[in-house]
Structure 1
């Protein structure tokens, strides 16, 4: 997936008013994810994304353990779009991860999911993509 397509999809699906806001949401989500997963895994995921986005996954060298609420708080603080509304920041992160899922191999995303706690918190991060896979 090309950078312009990725950002355009984030803007459209998250209903953001600009490409700059879509980039901010993407940067916030990917940078926060890079703090939570193994650096090597983050680099592997980033290598499958457009270079302009993959670099956000390569900026952190230390893994931190934090829950989904902290993940959302960090995204909200970074994006400055959903700062006042954690639910909005969570939706933005879900939107970005939905598009990441379309852009990378199934194995790369499974490796990321395997590093996150198997609870309803982080399961929410992949909620949009998983609900689209369910038969209606």
Structure 2
């Protein structure tokens, strides 16, 4: 998927009025996730994403320890939205990422995160139930 297509899909899924907000949402989610994952895992996850998008994961100061609540707070601050929107942004952006990378890669990400991050996988798990 190309960068413009990726951002268009984020804009559509989040029902945002412009691409700039889609970029801000994507950057907020992936930079925050990149901080939480170990460096190698962030790079592996980024490998299947458009180059301009993978930068958000790879440029983060990886390997930090914080819970899901703090993750949502980081997304909210970076995207300049409230916490409920930030939680939804995280699920939607990560849901799109999960469509572009292998299921095994998503499971490796899941294995690195504590149980309180299960909400991040809510849209992915819902799609598996439908299949």
Q: Shorter-normalised TM-score: what interval?
A: over 0.9
Structure 1 runs of 4+ with >4 Å offset: none
- How far 1:105 sits from its partner (Å)? 1.2
Summarize deviations over 1:71-108 as a string: whole Å, max 9, x none.
Answer: 0000010111x1xx201110011100000000111121
- How far 1:16 sits from its partner (Å)? 0.7
- How far 1:60 sits from its partner (Å)? 2.6
Which of residues 124, 128, 133 is equivalent to 2:128? 133
2:124 counterpart of 1:122: no
* More helix per residue: 2
CA RMSD of aligned residues (A): 1.3
Structure-2 separation of matches of 1:13 and 1:100: 12
Q: Which runs of 5+ in 1 are unaligned?
A: none
TM-score (norm. length: structure 2): 0.94
Structure-2 separation of matches of 1:12 and 1:135: 21
1:76-95 aligned within 5 A: 76-80=76-80, 82=81, 85-95=82-92
SS at match of 2:130: coil
TM-score (norm. length: structure 1): 0.91
Q: Which runs of 5+ in 2 are unaligned?
A: none
Structure-1 separation of matches of 2:62 and 2:29: 17
Summarize deviations over 1:35-91 as a string: whole Å, max 9, x none.
Answer: 1010011011111100000011111344111110000000010111x1xx2011100
